[in-house]
């Protein structure tokens, strides 16, 4: 199966197989009016199989925190005139703002409307994020 290369846009490679749709949803790519290709279960020497997303849009500001949180192994390539001009490696973000909601019913975020949902990374090894208000983990 062959998908054409993009001239100007972003390629998200090395997505853990099966996570492409989550990335698509959480990055709100359905709101874009450009072409977006979702490739699932692509053969990979390194990963066995992987997912890939191609976004055919120039000047698109990607939320790297969302990506890093969902799958820190993703490689982000910025494409200009058919060439890769930049590769970004992701890390687990130290802070998540309005990416996840606190599920603790006793947390102030469950009743206060204007409040931003903020989580902080407290254990990098085990990927533990805690709500800054109630300290419940995600």
Contact residues toward another protein (CB under 8 A) are: 104, 106-115, 122-123, 131-137
Q: Which residues contact 117 (CB under 8 A, 6 or more apart)?
A: 96, 97, 98, 99, 100, 101, 102, 109, 131
CA distance 52 to 6: 13
CA distance 8 to 84: 9
When the beta carbons of 35 and 98 are compared against another protein, the nearer one is 98
When the beta carbons of 69 and 133 are compared against another protein, the nearer one is 133
Least CB distance to another protein at residue 38 (A):
37
Least CB distance to another protein at residue 107 (A):
5
Least CB distance to another protein at residue 106 (A):
5
Least CB distance to another protein at residue 99 (A):
17
Q: What angle do CA 41, 94, 105 make, to 5 degrees?
A: 90
When the beta carbons of 21 and 108 are compared against another protein, the nearer one is 108
Q: Which residues contact 75 (CB under 8 A, 6 or more apart)?
A: 12, 13, 14, 87, 88, 89, 90
When the beta carbons of 43 and 106 are compared against another protein, the nearer one is 106
């Amino acid at each position: 199966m062959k998908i054409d290369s993009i001239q100007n846009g972003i390629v998200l490679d090395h997505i853990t197989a099966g996570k492409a749709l989550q990335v698509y949803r959480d990055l709100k790519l359905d709101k874009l009016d450009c072409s977006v290709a979702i490739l699932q279960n692509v053969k990979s020497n390194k990963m066995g199989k992987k997912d890939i997303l191609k976004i055919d849009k120039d000047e698109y500001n990607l939320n790297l925190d969302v990506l890093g949180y969902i799958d820190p192994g993703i490689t982000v390539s910025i494409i200009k005139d058919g060439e890769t001009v930049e590769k970004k490696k992701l890390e687990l973000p130290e802070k998540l703002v309005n990416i996840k909601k606190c599920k603790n019913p006793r947390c102030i975020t469950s009743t206060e409307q204007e409040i931003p949902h903020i989580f902080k990374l407290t254990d990098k090894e085990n990927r533990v994020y805690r709500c800054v208000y109630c300290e419940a983990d995600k």
